[in-house]
Structure 1
Amino acid sequence: MSGVELFLGGAVALAVVSVIVKARAGVKSARAAAEIARVGTSPVSLVGRVVVTALVIVGVQWLVISHSGNALLWWVVLGFPALITAYALMKALTVMQSSTSQRRGGGW
């Protein structure tokens, strides 16, 4: 083998090792970001979001009801949030199992 072939073979091997290292780092950082997102949703944060959303919905409903006599508009303004709430409640109440197990040891 000539020196150029050895150099190119070494460069290819270094590139392959570099890609593997970057892929592992990407997987680890993705796992860390997912863990931060999971832990970051504390009950206080969720309660705050629920309260703000409820205030926005009630405000819009109050504006429409107090300034409009249109019955169809009343049905839309009162019915749409009720449908969204029913969907969210059913989705929250039908969770059967939480998968919080984590693997120990090495691996990707």
Structure 2
Amino acid sequence: MSDRTRFWLLGLFLTGITLVAIGLLLGSIGRAARKSELPPADATPMEATIQQTAAAAPHPVMPVNAVGMAPVPNTYPANTAAPMPAPVAPTQQPVGIPGAMAGVAAPH
């Protein structure tokens, strides 16, 4: 066998051994991680109570009309129109570099 062939065979063999070792250790690593994610034993009964209370309270439901959209509540008293916005005063034309707007018609 040449040195090049021996190099590749040894490299593939050691890579396989490394992957087998990682696979064997993965189970214990996963169990340790799962255990570390749990809340402390003192907080577990409190957390269970919180979860039960949250599960017992139903989510609020908005009625849906025939189109499939929730109606928008009217925030104004009956027989009253919504207030009109105040008129906006015309703005002054910006002052720029003289001649920069050459050829542009001024608004009337």
Check whether TM > 0.5: no
Ranked by relative contact order (alpha carbons within 8 Å, sequence separation 6 or more), the top structure is: 1
Max Rg structure: 2
Quick check: which one's helix share is greater? 1
